[in-house]
Amino acid sequence: MQVKKVLSYGGIAFAAYYLLARPSDAANAVKGAFDSMINAADSLAQFVNNLA
């Protein structure tokens, strides 16, 4: 349990540092993650439409 807590805080600290040190790179990373989710949802919708 202790290791999980330390890793969680470490990940949060790293994300905060990355956001403050390189805001444009952090924004691009978030945009890329959202684009990936949108593409996955679109692919799933196409798959379901092709089933019918």
The rounded percent of the chain whose pLDDT value lies above 70 is 100
Is the confidence at residue 52, as pLDDT, over 90? Answer: no
Rounded to 5 degrees, what angle do the CA atoms 5, 8, 10 make? 110
Phi, psi of 22 (to 5 degrees): -140, 75
pTM given for the model: 0.63
26 CB contacts (<8 Å, ≥6 apart)?
18, 19
Q: How far is CA 44 from the centre of its chain?
A: 19
Question: What is the distance between the alpha carbons of residues 15 and 33, in angstroms, rounded to a whole number?
Answer: 14
